[in-house]
Structure 1
Amino acid sequence: MVEEHEEHIEKWWFKLKKKYPDLFKWFCIETIEVCCPTGTYGPDCLACRGGSERPCHGNGQCDGDGTRSGDGTCSCNKEYAGDFCLDCSDGYYNTLKNETHSVCTACHAACKTCTGSTNKDCEACKEGWTMNEEAACVDVDECAAEASPCKDDQYCLNTDGSFSCKACDVSCVGCTGEGPGKCKDCMSGYIMEDEKCTDMNECNLAESVCIRENEDCINTSGSYKCICSEGFEEKDGTCVQTKAGEEEVRAVTTPPSPGHEDL
């Protein structure tokens, strides 16, 4: 029964395709009238702007394309502008343009608007760039300003058309660049040696910084730690001997038992 039903549908479908080779056109466009041919729009399937062959001159999307809705206006690709997508948007210039075709190419990174591909073809410079005496847009070095645009614990790094603020080295109090060799002054715990801020080893100072009994000094970057010596532990602010330590001391200090001489 199922096989007969499937065979019937197959024969019906074959006859339908034979009668209407373009089923989409027959059913969606002509019968239920919810579609339009590609390149047309709206209740009357009017041609999109730029023509149904190349809607929006191939540089955008036609509103309602292929449907019975929309108004046929063009939404241009980012490079293009205008009602028919034949003009170039800011940052692009025409390398080809006639009544039916337009090709827009990106300007130099320095240009807001331009007539060609170099920084000398700019009509206006982007923010972060300025026009020099040779009528070329060149980078503004924000880091060269008398007052730095960055915080006191940062240095300024110039980039094309902009700048970034980078953190100074941990050893620095203010800096002019990356690393301990660019410090204006050194943080507490560091000293200037060989024109760079280096760690001060507090544990080697003439006057001991760890003053408790049975305590050792451990140097750290920019500082130090005072910890109880091996065999001792922290208790109520003092270093007291551990049980294991007491046993070790007892083993060392206790004299050996006298031997027994053979008679």
Structure 2
Amino acid sequence: MWMNDIDECLDNSTCPEHSTCINSNGSHLCICDAGFSSVEDLCVDIDECSDMELGELCTNGKCMNAIGSYYCECMEGFWSNGTKCMDVDECSDSLNSSVCQHHSTCVNLVGSYSCPCNEGFILSGTECQDVDECNDPGGTPCPEHSLCNNRAGSFFCLCSPGYKPTSVGCEDIDECKDNTTCRFDQVCTNLPGAYNCSCPLGHHEEKQACVDTNECENSPCQPSARCWNTPGSFSCHCPLGFAGNGSWCKDVDECVALAKPCHPLAHCYNTPGSFVCVCMAGYLSIGSLCVDFDECQQANRQCHSAATCSNHAGGFTCSCGQGWITSKDNGRGKGGCVDLDECVSPIACPGQTSCTNLPGSYNCSCPQNSTVCRMMTQKGWFCLC
């Protein structure tokens, strides 16, 4: 016999509320919906918030039981997707414009957010104010030879005039590399951050041209030296007989400096800038020579009239003649020779003769009443009476 199965699930009252009827051959099965448990043919709501087996639900929120389920009441900063508390991204594009203050960046945190000021700004009260890096007490952030320029949130450095940027800072521009920087007759001098155009040494500016300066107009030399002007310069020369560089001059003692400044028979005497040679006594200067002077040839001879002059190198001698005695003047001058009184000698006139002294001589004479008979013998004169 063929028998047809009865589908009990066609009757809504077959299974309890909150359950699902599943037909089977000759029978049926009632399965409680999710969130319900079978208790004495009934499907009773499960309180998930109290079920320890499910663990902690609704982290960052509070679990609220509902028929057949539960939902989460989330804390501030979180939103509920039903059974979970999801972090609210306050920094999302839809909220960012109103969440943080100007010049700050929104940073999302779990359940919250922060608004740190952007680089180059600092929080002052509730506002992010620009940091003036150029007025940093610790010093300028720019390299040497540059100017610091502050701007909102940052700064920039510009090299000072006369400098150019390099990979390590600002480098001086050598304007003098360009030959056209200065006038053709000027000298270009590079300076830190600048340059200078000036006339060459020894020249001065006159009517937009460099002309030679005559330094000798106000002589920089020693007063006795001679100044020679040269293009762009000058030189000082000491006078002949002086040594020095012209700014100082010292007399040269030729009598010491020269090996043989004078004739051997002359004395050397230094003079300012020169020297003189004076022949020794008894010598006569002829040019640079000293020749013997024959004093005996002088008209006014220096010997006594009764003396004989004898010349010799560098001098002369006077020899008194017979009948004269040499005085302390050695025969020179009027008193150089003194008459010898021969009559003092007893042998001058022997016998009865009388002696008469004469200048340089003497005379023997017989008495007046005697027979004159004078004879000269080896012993002198005698008279025969």
Query: What TM-score results when the alignment is normalised by the length of structure 1?
Result: 0.30
Query: Is the strand fraction higher in 1 or 2?
Result: 2
Query: Is the helix fraction higher in 1 or 2?
Result: 1
Quick one: higher RCO (CA 8 Å, sep 6+), 1 or 2?
1
